[in-house]
Structure 1
């Protein structure tokens, strides 16, 4: 009888141990093909040009998607930012197939900055860019193309004789539901000031708004620059801005961008680096930014985050470029079509990186990250 009890205890212990081992093994999630696809997508950047580039440094990219699915990507390139040899460069193509960069704009031997591409409803492509060594003395110049970037017009000043950065300063302009074009603009003289430039005649003439008020109790330092805009419903326009206060700022308008609320802080961190967003067909916002809350803080990683309520709350965050704290993945440009987005950004001032994915990709990646 005693021997039987010992055998029974041994058998029970063996079964329990086996159960624990099987449970432990079963709890380890097997990586599926979908998991591998998501892991690949999170790091699935490519470079618009290779190491044999005709300029040592590059920065501040912009992009548009053409009707045939190709993209135009532009940036400024030269010895380094502010150097007289810096010009505006352009490449055309799609993932895996990019044309060799060409210098598409060089007005004179003076620094060129911050190109912004726009595709109009009639298919014309417009390129805006800044010229001048100091930001306070910037001139905004324009070139146009009627053949998807194959050939370009002679350059002309957006607002002849005006200084300080008229028109879009970094991010794409938007066309409002009433047909007006609205460009996020800024100037950097004593303080950093935000304004908008409006055209009611498809870019022939422009009218600048007054500088926006900033809540200096919430946003410390010099101020705010480089707005990114969206229209949530007819007449209701919003902007997020880069600031010196360690946060992204926000302002809103209920009259087609004619008057604006005081710029106040949001919950989103910002290391005084450029941002951009796009609005998807279903109203979802996709914001690209560096999530560091120190003024002149790290520009790594570069992240995407979504909002389903016009920027009141943000969720489903993913990183599309990660590295060391001293790396720079910055100045994103974001565009959308349907539920898809494409992003270009500065990669350590040596290359322009390109990333594309869908809203579902971002949501799935964020969910996978939160489950780890």
Structure 2
């Protein structure tokens, strides 16, 4: 299993190809909870100049990752890419779909989300369109753990699918998908899309926040049991916002600011099997758009969070303004291991496995 980087070779080769991009020193993070840390593909083997918005799922023991990649976010050549970890190694990334339309117009793809409902195939949700204000949602299905995919199908009008983070499935089988809208007038709203039948049909809750008070997008769902759920969302207001439900998401309380900072960057969170809540986020807020460091915080009540690990710390003697570690996706597999992926300077995807028992 490859668990280390080809540090000197990677930096040398990539620096030659990308003279204008300042790469930080690539160092492994030393922490007892880290089982694996690696790039899904090495920098010198990148098939696209940029990548972003990665997602991960474990399907029948196979680790599957996806992201969007192309010349640059919003460019029409941006498609959805997939790699699988087989026998300890990541397969060469494959573009599984692009935004080409029947009329010959091609649009960029956005924000893939992998999700496997219990007893169902692996789903890949994504968006296509000229911008987040105009995109639409689609899905593909894999019956062989991400090796091959069905043709894309359009989600019904009014349903966008999970915008960035995975849905959760309740004990009764109901699926709650965290979604949001970015309107052309600049308003950001979050909502929940619900499926009672293993992701076959969906209904939308409608907006859960007043964007004039607190604009929010890209929620993540945490489950405290006994019907108690929490949404944590990205905002423009330098903080992560929250909503609470006490009836398994049928109704939601007011959107409020938390004490957690947010530099207008994507977050993700997962409820661990031991009852703790785990958040992956950029713990900066005053410098809007600052996406370093990337950190993990833990909580038992969703109110008091303790930052316990910097996956990408601030580095001395480095111009951190040139760096970006962002848009994490985090899951916990059946064996208890925590899997997460994130954007590494928009050049590759970093993959980390954690042992939650050593994450204190």
TM-score norm. by structure 2 comes to: 0.83
Match runs of 1:251-270 below 5 Å: 251-270=243-262
Match of 2:111 in 1: 114
| Residue 143 of structure 2 is aligned to residue 132 of structure 1 | no
Does the 8 Å contact 1:89/1:101 carry over to 2? yes
Q: 1:333 to 1:94 in 2, by over 3 A?
A: farther
Give the conservation status (yes or no) of the 8 Å contact 1:215–1:262.
no
Which deviations, in whole Å up to 9, do the C-alpha atoms of 1:121-142 show, x marking residues without a partner? 1151000000001212211011
Name which one, 1 or 2, has greater alpha-carbon Rg: 1
CA distance in 2, matches of 1:216, 1:305: 29
- Look up the SS of the partner of 2:145 in the other structure: coil
* Partner Cα distance (1:312, 1:336) in 2: 21
Any gaps of 5 or more consecutive residues in structure 1? 1-35, 364-372
* More helix as a share of residues: 1
Please, what is the CA RMSD of the aligned residues? 2.2
1:175 counterpart residue number: 169
Q: After TM superposition, give the deviation of residue 39 of structure 1 in Å.
A: 4.4
Native 8 Å contact 1:272 1:295 kept in 2: no
Q: Which residue of 2 aligns with 1:227?
A: 219
**2-structure distance, mates of 1:308, 1:41:** 19
Aligned residues: 319
TM-score, normalising length: structure 1: 0.81
Please give the alpha-carbon distance, in whole angstroms, between the structure 2 residues aligned to 1:58 and 1:37.
22
> Does the 8 A contact of 1:270 with 1:295 survive in 2?
no
How do residues 1-372 of structure 1 correspond to structure 2 at under 5 angstroms?
Answer: 38-39=30-31, 45-50=37-42, 51-68=44-61, 70-93=62-85, 97-108=89-100, 109-159=106-156, 162=157, 166-189=160-183, 190=185, 191-214=187-210, 219=214, 223-294=215-286, 296-309=288-301, 311-322=302-313, 323=315, 324-337=320-333, 338-363=335-360
Deviation at 1:37, TM superposition (A): 9.5
Alignment match, 1:31: none
In structure 2, stretches of 5+ residues that fail to align are 1-27, 101-105
Partner of 1:11: none
Q: 1:116 deviation in Å?
A: 0.3
**CA deviations over 1:185-241 (Å, ceiling 9, x no partner):** 111112111111111122222111121124866x4xxx1100000221142221100
Counterparts of 1:84 and 1:215, CA distance in 2: 29
Answer whether contact 1:46 1:95 (CA < 8 A) is retained.
no
Q: Using the alignment, how far apart are the partners of 1:267 and 1:130 within structure 2?
A: 31
What SS is found at the alignment partner of 1:120?
A: coil
SS in 2 for 1:360: helix
Distance in 1 separating the partners of 2:121 and 2:292: 35
- What is the Cα deviation at residue 43 of structure 1? 10
